[in-house]
């Protein structure tokens, strides 16, 4: 059984090593002349390229008949949780399964209750979407003991006998690396960044930490401050915090937050305060409102893992395990979305992966 399912974005690691070779291990303020940004630019530009081919598995078992699966989304209020739920329902229809999508409302009590109900209802499996298995360890163990396959997507959960059966995740390091490289490049090697991190979500926390790590490693860059926040802070605490931070740290020219939705209320406040004239703001997920902010020159960049594709990938691994096979690496792609490539993405929606990934999975499930 796989201990983790991660992608390796071809070429990024090599470029990262080249870029970081120009940087020191200093983690305080910047020192010395600005680094050469050519390698950072190469990393960012590669991450900005569209997906041109299906990167998932080439074959697998046909759709297993008469399966019952629960898809537990972190909270429908956020597009980053809602869209994977809708995609899982569509994938379930293609598989011919009974799929129940549940709104977790960002509430561990609902998460726990949903897992127990899946056990009681005789479900064959459950998939966690951006839900930490550690927060509901008891119910997850009970589900595994009852014979359910427990998968997760965009959750960065540990695979093990009492944890999840498999975890599908777009490459954490590649996402953080792309964001840091873009900000270092666009700040001409002098990124002074304020980091907003969300410990309640494993994956967003990890990719933001990777971005911070790469900025700290740049000898002419710095982290001016780091603050943690929760989903409940997005519309209340963060707007004032972000504006205040720009005043307290006049040297700040970059702000990076763990996910798009966290900044939807803050961006207008920062714009009104005139902060966006000097601060580049980067986020993660690639959801529709964030892409509109990029089109309107208010958000600088968003790194998206193809969310709906990821839900289909999680359903594919569920099918494999229900067929008695091992889960496989799904290679869910990422893309760095900025003003330079926003016109290649259809307005009014999120970034979905550029190609017809659903047809590729249906071909496998239909035995073609």
CATH for 19: 3.40.50.2300
What was the pLDDT predicted at 6?
34
- Judge if 192 and 328 occupy the same domain: no
- Residue at 365 is within a domain: no
Residue 2 clears pLDDT 50, i.e. is over it: no
What was the pLDDT predicted at 356?
97
- Residue at 234 is within a domain: yes
- Residue at 345 is within a domain: no
Q: Categorise residue 282: left if φ over 0, alpha if ψ from -120 to 50, beta otherwise.
A: beta
Residue 144 clears pLDDT 80, i.e. is over it: yes
Residue 127 clears pLDDT 80, i.e. is over it: yes
Tell me what the mean pLDDT of segment 318-341 comes to.
98
- Judge if 90 and 239 occupy the same domain: no
- Judge if 237 and 319 occupy the same domain: no
- Judge if 326 and 299 occupy the same domain: no
- Residue at 238 is within a domain: yes
According to DSSP, the β-strands at 334-338 and 192-197 are unpaired
Nearest to 170 by CA among 262, 104, 80: 80
Tell me what the mean pLDDT of segment 315-333 comes to.
98
- Quick one: pLDDT band at residue 15, thresholds 50, 70, 90? very low
Residue 19 clears pLDDT 90, i.e. is over it: no
- Residue at 360 is within a domain: no
pLDDT, tens digit, 9 for 90 and up, residues 205-250: 999 999 999 999 999 999 999 999 998 899 999 999 999 999 999 9
Give the whole-angstrom CA distance, residue 17 versus residue 136.
38
What was the pLDDT predicted at 80?
87
What was the pLDDT predicted at 32?
63
> Which residues in 41-109 belong to E strands, given as ranges?
68-73, 98-103
What was the pLDDT predicted at 33?
85
Tell me what the mean pLDDT of segment 111-132 comes to.
97
- Judge if 218 and 119 occupy the same domain: no
- Residue at 366 is within a domain: no
Q: Which structural domain, as residue segments, surrounds residue 184?
A: 12-52+171-305
Give the whole-angstrom CA distance, residue 29 versus residue 32.
10
- Judge if 273 and 256 occupy the same domain: yes
Q: How many domains does the chain have?
A: 2
- Residue at 342 is within a domain: no
- Residue at 221 is within a domain: yes
- Judge if 301 and 311 occupy the same domain: no
> What is the share, in percent, of the chain residues with pLDDT greater than 90?
86
- Judge if 301 and 188 occupy the same domain: yes
pLDDT, tens digit, 9 for 90 and up, residues 55-102: 999 999 999 999 999 999 999 988 889 999 999 999 999 999 999 999
- Judge if 17 and 158 occupy the same domain: no
Residue 260 clears pLDDT 90, i.e. is over it: yes
Tell me what the mean pLDDT of segment 184-201 comes to.
96
Nearest to 128 by CA among 320, 352, 321, 318: 318
What was the pLDDT predicted at 27?
38
- Judge if 155 and 220 occupy the same domain: no
Residue 7 clears pLDDT 70, i.e. is over it: no
Buried b (16+ CB within 10 A) or exposed e, 133-144: beebeebbbbbb
- Judge if 279 and 195 occupy the same domain: yes
- Judge if 246 and 271 occupy the same domain: yes
């Amino acid at each position: 059984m796989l201990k983790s399912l991660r992608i390796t974005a071809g070429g990024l690691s090599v470029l990262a090593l080249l870029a970081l070779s120009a940087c020191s291990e200093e983690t305080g303020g910047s020192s010395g002349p600005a680094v050469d940004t050519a390698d950072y630019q190469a990393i960012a530009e590669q991450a900005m390229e569209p997906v041109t081919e299906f990167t998932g598995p080439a074959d697998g078992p046909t759709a297993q008949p008469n399966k019952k699966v629960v898809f537990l989304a972190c909270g429908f209020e956020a597009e980053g949780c809602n869209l994977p739920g809708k995609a899982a329902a569509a994938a379930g229809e293609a598989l011919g399964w009974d799929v129940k999508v549940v709104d977790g409302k960002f509430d561990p009590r609902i998460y726990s209750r949903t897992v127990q109900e899946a056990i009681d209802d005789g479900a064959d499996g459950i998939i966690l979407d951006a839900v930490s298995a550690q927060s509901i360890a008891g119910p997850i163990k009970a589900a595994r003991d009852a014979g359910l396959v427990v998968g997760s997507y965009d959750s960065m959960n540990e695979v093990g006998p009492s944890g999840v059966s498999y975890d599908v995740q777009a490459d954490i390091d590649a996402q953080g690396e792309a964001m840091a490289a873009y900000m270092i490049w666009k700040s001409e090697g002098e990124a002074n960044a304020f980091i907003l991190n969300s410990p309640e979500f494993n994956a967003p926390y990890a990719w933001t930490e990777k971005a911070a790590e790469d900025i700290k490693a740049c000898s002419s860059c710095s982290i001016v401050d780091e603050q943690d926040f929760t989903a409940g802070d997005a519309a209340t605490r963060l707007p004032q915090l972000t504006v205040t931070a720009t005043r307290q740290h006049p040297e700040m020219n970059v702000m990076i937050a763990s996910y798009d939705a966290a900044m939807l209320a803050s961006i207008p406040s920062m714009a009104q305060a005139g902060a966006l004239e000097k601060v580049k703001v980067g986020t993660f997920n690639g959801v529709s409102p964030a892409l509109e902010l990029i089109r309107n020159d208010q958000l600088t960049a968003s790194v998206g893992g193809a969310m709906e594709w990821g839900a289909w990938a999680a359903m594919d691994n569920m099918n494999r395990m229900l067929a008695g096979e091992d889960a496989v690496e799904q290679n869910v792609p990422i893309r760095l979305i900025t003003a330079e490539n926003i016109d290649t993405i259809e307005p009014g929606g999120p970034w979905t992966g550029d190609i017809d990934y659903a047809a590729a999975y249906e071909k496998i499930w239909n035995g073609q």
